[in-house]
C-alpha cells in the first residue's frame, strides 16, 4: 500500500521475491515485525471469534471506518487492480481481466471467476446474481471508482490489547470498485446484516437483532467518518452513507463475496434473500433493516 496517499498503518516491506524459483525456493515477503495480535485472535480469546468484544466495538469501528474512507478517497477512472505505478488501474488480479468502465462488466467478471474457480459450489446463486447485478437496464457507469479492501477482516488487522489498530496486512484484494461494492461489511467484526428479509445467517449461530444493531453502528461510524472528510477536506459528496450499506446492490455483492470465499452454505441461505430483495423496493429494504 502506498503510504504517500493514506496514513493507514502498514508494515514496512524489507524484501520480497514472488518467483517460485526464488533463492529460498519459494515466493516470500519479508516485512517489519509488529508487536501485537490480530483482532481475530483477541476476539477468540474473549470468547467469540465472530465479533469484536462489545467494550471495544465503537473504538474499533471508528478506526476501521476511517481506513475505509482513506481508501475510498483514492479515486480512479476505471475499475481494476492498482497498477505498479500507483497512478492508474490495471487488470484485476483476481480475475485476470479488466480494467472495467462499467459496474456490470466488473460483476460479470467476478461471478465468472467464482464460477470457474469453485465449480462445485453455489452455481444457482451465481445465476441469480447475474440477473440482479449484471442483466439490468440501469446505467452502471460511475464518474470515478475508489479503493476497497475486501480482506480487511479481523484476521488481517493487527491490534494491541485495547484494539488500537497497529497495522493492516494482506492487500491482495484491494482494487478500485463500484460505490456499492465499497459499502461492504468486513467479516468477523460483528456487523453482519444477515439474509435480507429472513434474518441471521444460520451457519454463524449468531442472533439477528444483535448483529444488525452492530451493522447499524458500523454504518453510522462510516457515515460520520465520511462526513468529517467532507468538512475537513472539501470533498463534494460523502464517500459513504449509512443507508447505502443496506442498499440492494451492496447486499447482492455481499452474497457474491460469500460465494467468492467458498462458503458452502451461501446458496441455501442467500437465494431466498435475493428473491426477497427482488420483490421489495429499496425503501422496504431500508425499513426492514431499520435504517
Low-confidence ranges of the chain (pLDDT < 50): none
What Cα–Cα distance (Å) separates residue 38 from each residue in 188, 221, 273? 12, 21, 32
> CA neighbours within 13 Å on the CB side: how many for 230?
12
Is this model's pTM higher than 0.75 or not?
Answer: yes
Cβ–Cβ under 8 Å, residues 174 and 184: no
The pLDDT assigned to 117 comes to 92
CATH class of 13-289: alpha beta
The pLDDT assigned to 31 comes to 93
The pLDDT assigned to 188 comes to 86
Cβ–Cβ under 8 Å, residues 126 and 115: yes
In this structure, what C-alpha cell is assigned to residue 132?
440482479
Q: What is the C-alpha to C-alpha distance for residues 124 and 143, in angstroms, rounded to an integer? A: 32
Q: Which candidate, 254, 252, 260, places its Cα nearest to that of 122?
A: 260
Please report, to the nearest 10 degrees, the dihedral formed by the alpha carbons of residues 200, 216, 125, 40 taken in order: -80
Amino acid at each position: 500500500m502506498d503510504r504517500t496517499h493514506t496514513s493507514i498503518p502498514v508494515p514496512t516491506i524489507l524484501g520480497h521475491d514472488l518467483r517460485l524459483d526464488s533463492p529460498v525456493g519459494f515466493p516470500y515477503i519479508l516485512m517489519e515485525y509488529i508487536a501485537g495480535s490480530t483482532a481475530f485472535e483477541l476476539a477468540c480469546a474473549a470468547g467469540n471469534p465472530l465479533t469484536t468484544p462489545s467494550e471495544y466495538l465503537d473504538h474499533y469501528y471508528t478506526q476501521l471506518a476511517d481506513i475505509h474512507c482513506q481508501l475510498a478517497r483514492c479515486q480512479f477512472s476505471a475499475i481494476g487492480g492498482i497498477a505498479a505505478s500507483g497512478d492508474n488501474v490495471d487488470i484485476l488480479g483476481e480475475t485476470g481481466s479488466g480494467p472495467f468502465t462499467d459496474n456490470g462488466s466488473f460483476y460479470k467478471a467476478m461471478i465468472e471467476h467464482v464460477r470457474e474457480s469453485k465449480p462445485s459450489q453455489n452455481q444457482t446463486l451465481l445465476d441469480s446474481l447475474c440477473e440482479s447485478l449484471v442483466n439490468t437496464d440501469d446505467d452502471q457507469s460511475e464518474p470515478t471508482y475508489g479503493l476497497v479492501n475486501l480482506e480487511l477482516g479481523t484476521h488481517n488487522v493487527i491490534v494491541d490489547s485495547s484494539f488500537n489498530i497497529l497495522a493492516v496486512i494482506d492487500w491482495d484484494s484491494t482494487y478500485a470498485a463500484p460505490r456499492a461494492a465499497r459499502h461492504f461489511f468486513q467479516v468477523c467484526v460483528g456487523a453482519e446484516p444477515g439474509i435480507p428479509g429472513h434474518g441471521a445467517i444460520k451457519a454463524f449461530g449468531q442472533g439477528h437483532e444483535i448483529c444488525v444493531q452492530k451493522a447499524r453502528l458500523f454504518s453510522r461510524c462510516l457515515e460520520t467518518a465520511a462526513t468529517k472528510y467532507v468538512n475537513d477536506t472539501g470533498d463534494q459528496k460523502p464517500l459513504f452513507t449509512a443507508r447505502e450499506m443496506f442498499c440492494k446492490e451492496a447486499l447482492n455483492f455481499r452474497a457474491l463475496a460469500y460465494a467468492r470465499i467458498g462458503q458452502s452454505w451461501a446458496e441455501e441461505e442467500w437465494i431466498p434473500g435475493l428473491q426477497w430483495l427482488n420483490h421489495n423496493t429499496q425503501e422496504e429494504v431500508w425499513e426492514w433493516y431499520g435504517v
